Structure formats: structure tokens, C-alpha cells
Structure 1
Amino acid sequence: MSRSSRPQANRSRSLLFRAGTAIAVLILLGAGIWFWRQHQAAGAEGAFRTAPVERGNIRVSISSTGTLSATSTVIVGSQISGQVTEVLADFNDRVSKDQVLARIDPKTYEAQIEQGNAQVASARASLEQALATQRNAELDYRRKSELVQRQLVARSDVDLARAALDQANAQVASARAQIGQQTASTQATRVNLERTVIRSPVDGVVLTRSIEPGQTVAASLQAPELFTIAEDLAQMKIELAVDEADIGQVQPGQGVAFTVDAFPDRQFRGQVQQVRLAATTSNNVVTYPVVVAVDNSDGTLLPGLTVNAEIEVSRRDDVLKVSNAALRFKPADQAAAGPAAMAGGMRGGAGMLDDLAGFVATLELTPAQRAAFDSDAATARARQEEMRKAMEAAIQNAQRSGATGASGGGMPPGMVVMRGGPAQGAASGQMRQRTLERFQQNFAGFLGTLDESQRQAFEREIAALAGARRVMVHRLENGKAVPVQVRVGVSDGSSTEISGGVKEGDLLVTGERAATR
């Protein structure tokens, strides 16, 4: 190597060393900044307990217990008394309509029929005798009527003949009535004779049998129960006892999931068929019977099984949800947070416009109608932004003047401050009404382009949005709890559906951690 090339190599190695040193310093500096920021963020987040906004399903159900039974159960009794001679059906037997189930000794009724037949024959003979007497009395009356015209007999003889004829007519009528009476009595005995054969009134399955051959049936004041027949076990029902606090949520057509102890690893399905009004009170607890229809085509379920059921009163799929603790959180300094919370609510109010835009997307709008909605929505957002800025300015003025307490000084005109107590319900109603009116005014141009059905659907959605329940939650942003207003939906007791100024993955504050030294 020449002497001139050595200085160049030394300079190259020096430049490479300096560049490597600079890169290493930059890497170390960047790593330090990243670790410092992570440490700061961890310290800020450590001041709060949080829960993430997740996407999933919410299922709201009501638990209750009841008993399985056949849809239609028929009790077969006896209308007559006597000794049972035959029992032709047993437990669990399938029977068809008019099939003979049992027989009662018919000898008593057969004897009564023979006696009745004899009495009818006797009455007929009495009738023949009365007819003969009637004919004789009639002839005698006619002869004496002719003779009295020639004054050959006395008027009194004619009167006696007339009375004898009337008496004969009465005897004929009596004899005929006797025949009818005896015939009807015999017919009644024949009906009772037919009732000695106990037949099934329906197609079904014998659930219970209460008689044995040789047993005497006594039908005096009420018909004794001989058999219980389930008409159709392929279709069954459950009678649930639902508490009065939950009955308002139960409607016909809702799905029911239930289990029975006989098959603990299997879940069955049914459907609410009827909500009955016959309330029952027991130990000051009011319950209402709810009838659930169950398909038992495979014959697995049995009458009388105890059921643990859950009535699905509401189900929301693929929605944003959060732990209920996030809805209950209130900042420690509630008074100072009041105006800021209201400003946060103003920022979250844009969620109503987003919800409305999502609904409008489901309507079949023309391009002109869509343009009218976009124009009105842009105007509404601008007005909302002006109100938000006015609110923030009022808050800043109040803070500078030391009036950041609950008095709400410096609030913009038209703002309603919720203070709780009896006036809270009225104030909430006023706010809903004002929100509804404001939306109708903001979208007056768009409403003018809709047909009647579209207009009604849009107005229903506005009313639903205005009447929706809204709460203030606190989203963790840069270590601070920022108030955001959201709309809440159904709740399953641990999680609640929310929508509005939050998105999936946001951390909502559920509580504050105790300060550590």
C-alpha cells in the first residue's frame, strides 16, 4: 500500500466510527423518550380503573320455574254407579277415540229396561180400554142428543152422557201420556245402559288409571274420575310463574330456553304462547302465569317434569357494550366536573346525528333526497359546534370568575341543568321535547322531500332518538377522564349496550385508584 492511500483509509474509518456513534446515540435517545412516555402514560392510566368498549351480543332474559304438562288433558269419569267388571286400558296405553276403556255391570239397567217395556205394554192396554170407553160414551151422547130433540129423554140424561164422554176423552189422554212417560223412562234407562261402557273421548295416552276390576263406582254428587288421558304429547306446554316486576317485558312469541333435571345436559326450546291475567299472590309476592308452547315430537319430555326456564325478552347482536361500572362512575370532584360534563355531552351529541345518518341509509332515497339530508345534517352539525364552543367559553368565564360550582353561572341561554329531585323528570321531558323540535326544524328541508311513509318512519326514528336514555361516561384520554355522552340500550345485568361518542377499543373509566406514595 502506498503512503497516499493510508491517510484516506484512516479518514474513512474515522467517518464510519463517528456515524455509528451518532446512530447509537439517536437510538438510545429515542428509546429513552419512548420509555419515559410509556412510564408517564402508565402512571396516568394507573390513576383510574378502566373497562374497554367491546363489540358483542347482549341477551336479556327472565328466569322462572314451572311444570310441563300436556297441551290438552281429559279426565274420563262415570255418570252412573255400579260395579266395574272390566278394565281394558292401563297406564301409558295409547287409545283412540271411542275405544272401550272399561265396563260397568249392566244387569241393573237391563232389568230396568225389561220393567219399563212391561209398563209401556200395560199403558198401551189401558189406552185401548180407554178408547173403547170413549167410543161407547160418544155413541150414547149422540143418541140422547137426537132423542132430546123429540122430547123422548130428559135434558139431564143428555148432560150425563156429555159428562161421560168428556171423562172418556180424559182417560184416553191420560193413557197416552202414560205411554209417553214409560217410553221416556225406558229410553233413559237405555242411555244409562250405554254408559256402562266407558269409552275414550279423544285420541291420546292414558296418564292415570284410578279403578280396578270389581271396584264399585258411586256417582252421586259428582262423576268419579276413572282415567286421565293426555290428548297429544307431541305438543306440550309449560306454565311459568313470572314475578310482577318482570311480567311487563314478557310478550307472546318470545323465545324460551329451558332445562329439566331428567336431562341436565340438554337444553330445550319453546315459545311464549299466552300471558294470563289471573295473578296469584303468595306471601305478598304477586306472580302471573305464562304459558309456553313446546314441541315434543321426539317424545323426550314427560308430563310433570319441573322446568327451569329463561324467557329471552331482548337480544342485541354485534353491538358496542361496556361494563355497567362505567355507567355508574362519577368523578370525585362532582361539582367541578359538572360544566365540563355538560360540554362533553355537547361533544357526544354528535352521536345522535350519526345514529340518524345510519337510519337514513336504510331508506330508499333518491339522489335529491340524499343531497337534502346531507345539507341539513351539515347545518345541524355546524349549529351543534357553535353551541359547544359557546358552552366551553361559558365554562372558561365561570372558572375565571370562580363560579365553577353547581350554580351553573354563565350557561348559554336555553341550557337546562339537571339537579335531581322531583324536578329532574320534568326537566328531562323538556329536554327531550326541545331535542325533538330542534331536529324537526334542522331537517325541515329534508322532510319536505319525503313521501308519507318515509316521513312517518323518519319522524318515528327522531322521536326514538330524542326519547332514548342517555348517560355521561368518562373516556380515558392522555391520562384524563373526559366526559362523553352516550345512548344506552338493553342490559343483561353486567354489560350494557351503548352508542354515540365512543368506539370499539375505547377505555371508559370505572373508578379511581387510591393514591400511592
Structure 2
Amino acid sequence: MSAARPASRTPRKPTPWIRHGIVAAVVLVLAAGGVYAYRKREAAVESGAFRTVPVERGDIRVAISSTGTLSAISTVTVGSQVSGQVTDVLVDYNDPVKKGQVIAHIDPKTYEAQIAQGNAQIASARASLSQAQATLLNAELDYQRKADLGARQLVARSDVDLAKAALDQARAQVNAAQASIRQQSASTLTTQVNLDRTVIRSPVDGVVLTRSIEPGQTVAASLQAPELFTIAEDLAKMKIELAVDEADIGQVRTGQNVSFTVDAFPDRQFRGTVEQVRLSATTTSNVVTYPVVVTVDNSDGTLLPGLTVNAEIEVSRRDDVLKVSNAALRYKPADEGDAAANATPQAGGPRGGSGVIDDLARTASTLKLNADQQAAFDTAAEAIRARQAARQAQAAQQGGGNRLFGGGGGGGRGGPPGMVVMGGSGAGNMQAQMRQRMAERLKEDFATFRATLDDAQKKQWDAALSAQLTAKRAPLYRLVDGKAQRVMVRIGASDGTSTEISGGDLKPGDAVVTGERAKE
């Protein structure tokens, strides 16, 4: 009897609800992954594929650094015009002195002896004069007698001539004696002057800085006056001579503020004013510098002559302006073409010429305008803004670039309205032509307003208008919806860290790109 054969099992098929559960689980996993990837991508955008800094409103201070030495406004070297032995020194270092005060004596005996000798010679000359005058009187009487006798033919004519000659000789002797007296008197006066010079006096009010003589020392003034003292006149006012590099000297003007420090007082900052920009250049190791004189108030006597100064000349100051970090101006995107495409002006985008009008409005606010002048400015500004708005609307409808003052379009590179940004050799000429057209149009628009200004206001207005038209322009990349949007701005003063900007419809708090983050 054969063994029984086990029955084979039929495999169970999964029920439908299990299949549906598996599909649902897969869908959920895929959905979760998609959501996670989406959120991660959005987080990456939000957290920033770019490094940014905000546009700020504040002050810009531009300063030139230089070094120099403190000294008195006027330093007088006191010397001696006569030779001799110093008998007395009446002042010492740091002593205050007054003008005319005796500060030293030189032995006067030599000059006193010369004066005595001169007085004796004068006395002798006066005695000779008396003798000559007596001789002259006798010669006059003799000549009168002989002239009378000669007229009556009682004496020879030759005797009359001899008497006349004797009279002339007597007169000459009198004149010679008088001349000798004057000569001796002049010589004695010269000696008296030298005697007075043996008393050394201070020529100014001031302080003795140096003393180069001691009692008993002999000074010789044969070729040049020996230096005995150095006196600083009025240390309450001092000066600094700064050496300013030729690259910076064009920005320095009389009246600019200067702040400086000295090593003797490291925790204190002092202030001065540019008094003079000298034209005498100095060349040292092929470096050309110009001396700039700065006056300093030293009423408290803190500063000392000879101190080394580290100074900053404030050549420009802009208050309450928009500014941005210099890193934002240096940034250039890796794909310039994509960034340029984003620069097409949108609604409320770059305003270009409106920035010029806003800057000019700030200038007008400093001119102290009366009501009529302000009304004339507002009328011109509103007319310009209305014309810009109309042209921007027309350009938006046509899909073209913005235009300013009838100028060229913004261009494919996203340049500011009224300016074509282009490469090649024609870029400079094109920009020059645009600036010229802008200048002519602005002058025409504000002609009525300018006519209401006085001469001083016109000068300030013309300078501001010229500065706006010649201002440099540079691209910035504003972060909009996670994308870098290129805008053109006018750049102004820079303090080395931040730079003044205007235009581009930027406002405080806007994020501008300074760099791109590394991809993970």
C-alpha cells in the first residue's frame, strides 16, 4: 500500500484593503518628501541664497588722514647784533616774558669807552669851530676895511683880493669844523645804538622755549647774529603743519574742520581749522606732499610745541542721506545676463530722474527760499514728475524701457531712466550726450525758479545741479522675492565703509546683495 501524498497548499492572495494601504503609504511618503523638499527649497530662498545688508539712513563723513607737528603760531629767535661777554641772563626755560622786557645783558664797557672817546672828539671839533668862527670874523672885518680903501684908490687892488681870499678860507674852515662835529656826533650815535643793543629785550609777548647762553659766555656777531633765545608767541593759539598727499590735496579747502590726537593725551580728541593750503610742494622718495596749516585753540595750555599729531581733515559731510555698505557696490552676480534681465523696471521700480528731483529738493531746502521761490520750485518739480509718470505708463504699455526727460530707454541692461548702459568705445560718448541732454532739459525746466534766486542762491543751485549731472552711477542688486534685481543708483560721498546713494527707488530697510552663499 503506497504512502499517502500530502495535499499542496494554494498561496493566499493579498486582500484589496492591504493593497490600498500600501499604495496610500507610498503616496504619503512621496507627498511628505515633496513637501519637505519644497519647504527646504523655500527655506533656502528665505534664509538667503544671498548675503545682504540693509539700506540705511544716516550721516557720511569723508576725512583725509595725515600727520604733522604742533608749533606756536609765531616763534621768534632772539639774537645779538653786538659782540661781547654775557654778564647777566635774566630768564630761563618756560618763563613768560613781555614785549620789551630785559632778558640778558652783554658787557657794555667797550661801547661806553667808545662813546666817551666820541664825546671828546666832538668837544675838540666844537673848539675848532669856535676858532674858525673867530678867524672868519676877523677876515670879514679886514676885507670890509680894504674894500672901502680900495674903492677910494688908497690901497692896491691886490691887497683887496688877498683879503677876499682870506675871508673865503675862514668860511671854509668854519664849514669844515661844523662837518667834523656832525661826523663825530654820528659816530657817537652809532656807538650809542650798539651800547643799547647790549641790553637784550624780548621782541614779543610769549614763553621762552630755548636758552642758548650762560653768564660769562662770549658771543661773536661778526658774520651773523648768534641765537640766544627762542620765544614762542602766545601758546594759547597754535598751529599744525600737515603733509597732505598730492592725491588728496585737491579736496582740502580753507575753513574745513580738523580733528586730531596726540600720543601725550591718547584719550582726548582735539579740533582745529584749516587756515592755509600752501603751494610749496615737497618731494620725498618720489612722494609729493603739500603743507597744510591748521590753527588750534590751546586756551587751556594742554598742547605743547613739538608734539606729533595724527589728524583727519573733514573734507565732506553728508547728513541724513541713504547709504549702503561698500560691499554691495562691489558685488557682481555670477550670471550677469540673468541679473540684467531682472533689471527691467517694474511698477514702482527704479525712478531714475525722480531721484534727481528729490536730491534737488533737498538742495532747495537749504537755500532758505521764500514762499514765491518755493512755489516756483514745486511747480517745476511736479511738472517733471508728471511727465515721467506719463512716459513710464506709456513704456509699460509698450513693454519698453523707461525714459527720462525724453532721453533714451533704460536698455536691455537695466540702466537708469535717461541713461543707456552699454559697452564698447561708444559708451562714454553716449553717456556724455545723455548728460548733456539732461542738463539742457533740467535748466529749461527750472529756468523760472532760478530766475527768482539771488546771486548767492544761484551759485549754490548751479553747483548742486552740476553735481547731480556729473554724479557717478553704479549698479546695486536689491533682493526682491528671493531674487537679485539690478537697479542703478547715483553714488556720492564715501567714508571707506559706506557710500551715499540716491535713486533706484531704494528706501531704508531694503535688502541689497553683497554676495552669494555657497551651495550645500
Q: TM-score, normalised by structure 1?
A: 0.81
* Counterpart-to-counterpart distance in 1, 2:401 and 2:365: 36
How far 1:490 sits from its partner (Å)? 0.6
Q: 369, 374, 385: which is aligned to 2:392?
A: 385
* Aligned: 1:434 with 2:437: yes
Matched with 1:117 is: 119
Matched with 1:102 is: 104
Matched with 1:157 is: 159
* Counterpart-to-counterpart distance in 2, 1:43 and 1:33: 15
Residues 302-327 of structure 1: per-residue CA shift (max 9 Å, x gap): 11111111111112233221111211
* Counterpart-to-counterpart distance in 1, 2:194 and 2:378: 85
Q: 280, 283, 293: which is aligned to 1:281?
A: 283
Cα distance change of structure 1 residues 459 and 34 upon mapping to structure 2, 3 Å threshold: farther
* Aligned: 1:477 with 2:480: yes
Matched with 2:296 is: 294
Residues 33-89 of structure 1: per-residue CA shift (max 9 Å, x gap): 899567425237643332221223222111111111111111111111110111110
Matched with 2:5 is: none
Residues 97-143 of structure 1: per-residue CA shift (max 9 Å, x gap): 22110111111111111111110110011111111221222222222
Secondary structure in 2 matching 1:183? helix
* Counterpart-to-counterpart distance in 2, 1:174 and 1:254: 68
* Counterpart-to-counterpart distance in 2, 1:479 and 1:417: 25
Q: TM-score, normalised by structure 2?
A: 0.81
How far 1:161 sits from its partner (Å)? 2.0
* Aligned: 1:128 with 2:130: yes
Q: Is the 8 A contact 1:148 1:155 kept in 2?
A: yes
How far 1:241 sits from its partner (Å)? 0.7
Cα distance change of structure 1 residues 192 and 314 upon mapping to structure 2, 3 Å threshold: same
How far 1:387 sits from its partner (Å)? 6.3
* Aligned: 1:171 with 2:178: no
Secondary structure in 1 matching 2:208? strand
| Structure 1, 128-137 or 359-368: larger mean CA deviation | 359-368
Matched with 2:507 is: 503
Secondary structure in 2 matching 1:71? strand
How far 1:508 sits from its partner (Å)? 1.2
Q: Is the 8 A contact 1:376 1:443 kept in 2?
A: no
Matched with 1:226 is: 228
| Structure 1, 353-362 or 314-323: larger mean CA deviation | 353-362
Q: Is the 8 A contact 1:343 1:391 kept in 2?
A: no
* Counterpart-to-counterpart distance in 2, 1:236 and 1:414: 52
* Aligned: 1:262 with 2:258: no
Cα distance change of structure 1 residues 250 and 372 upon mapping to structure 2, 3 Å threshold: closer
| Structure 1, 83-92 or 129-138: larger mean CA deviation | 129-138
Q: Is the 8 A contact 2:380 2:445 kept in 1?
A: no
Residues 180-219 of structure 1: per-residue CA shift (max 9 Å, x gap): 1111111111111111111112221111101000001111
| Structure 1, 95-104 or 172-181: larger mean CA deviation | 95-104
| Structure 1, 432-441 or 53-62: larger mean CA deviation | 432-441
Residues 211-242 of structure 1: per-residue CA shift (max 9 Å, x gap): 00000111112111111111111111111111
Secondary structure in 2 matching 1:43? helix
Residue 79 of structure 1 aligns with an amino acid whose one-letter code is Q
* Counterpart-to-counterpart distance in 1, 2:378 and 2:59: 34
Matched with 2:72 is: 70
Q: Superposition pairs for residues 194-233 of structure 1, below 5 Å?
A: 194-233=196-235
How far 1:154 sits from its partner (Å)? 2.6
Residue 452 of structure 2 aligns with an amino acid whose one-letter code is D
Q: Is the 8 A contact 1:45 1:479 kept in 2?
A: no
Cα distance change of structure 1 residues 408 and 369 upon mapping to structure 2, 3 Å threshold: closer
* Counterpart-to-counterpart distance in 2, 1:384 and 1:463: 25
Gaps in structure 2 of 5+ consecutive residues: 1-30, 403-410
How far 1:471 sits from its partner (Å)? 1.9
Cα distance change of structure 1 residues 332 and 391 upon mapping to structure 2, 3 Å threshold: farther
Matched with 2:351 is: 348
* Counterpart-to-counterpart distance in 1, 2:335 and 2:506: 23
Q: Is the 8 A contact 2:474 2:489 kept in 1?
A: yes
Cα distance change of structure 1 residues 34 and 273 upon mapping to structure 2, 3 Å threshold: farther
* Counterpart-to-counterpart distance in 2, 1:449 and 1:231: 50
Q: Is the 8 A contact 1:348 1:485 kept in 2?
A: no
Cα distance change of structure 1 residues 126 and 314 upon mapping to structure 2, 3 Å threshold: same
Matched with 1:451 is: 452
Q: Is the 8 A contact 2:376 2:449 kept in 1?
A: no
Secondary structure in 1 matching 2:333? coil
Whichever structure has more helix as a proportion of its residues is 1
Residues 117-174 of structure 1: per-residue CA shift (max 9 Å, x gap): 1101100111111112212222222222222233333322222222221111111100
* Counterpart-to-counterpart distance in 2, 1:192 and 1:477: 89
Secondary structure in 2 matching 1:253? coil
Residue 486 of structure 1 aligns with an amino acid whose one-letter code is V
How far 1:253 sits from its partner (Å)? 1.6
Q: Superposition pairs for residues 52-67 of structure 1, below 5 Å?
A: 52-67=54-69
Secondary structure in 2 matching 1:232? strand
Residue 385 of structure 1 aligns with an amino acid whose one-letter code is Q
* Counterpart-to-counterpart distance in 2, 1:104 and 1:459: 66
* Counterpart-to-counterpart distance in 1, 2:95 and 2:462: 61
Matched with 1:235 is: 237
Cα distance change of structure 1 residues 132 and 232 upon mapping to structure 2, 3 Å threshold: same
Taking only aligned residues, the RMSD between alpha carbons, in angstroms, comes to 3.3
* Aligned: 1:493 with 2:515: no
* Aligned: 1:419 with 2:426: no
Q: Is the 8 A contact 1:41 1:478 kept in 2?
A: no
| Structure 1, 34-43 or 374-383: larger mean CA deviation | 34-43
Residues 3-38 of structure 1: per-residue CA shift (max 9 Å, x gap): xxxxxxxxxxxxxxxxxxxxxxxxxx9xx9899567
* Aligned: 1:468 with 2:492: no
Matched with 2:309 is: 307
| Structure 1, 58-67 or 321-330: larger mean CA deviation | 321-330
Cα distance change of structure 1 residues 328 and 82 upon mapping to structure 2, 3 Å threshold: same
Residue 380 of structure 1 aligns with an amino acid whose one-letter code is R
Q: Is the 8 A contact 2:344 2:412 kept in 1?
A: no
How far 1:513 sits from its partner (Å)? 4.1
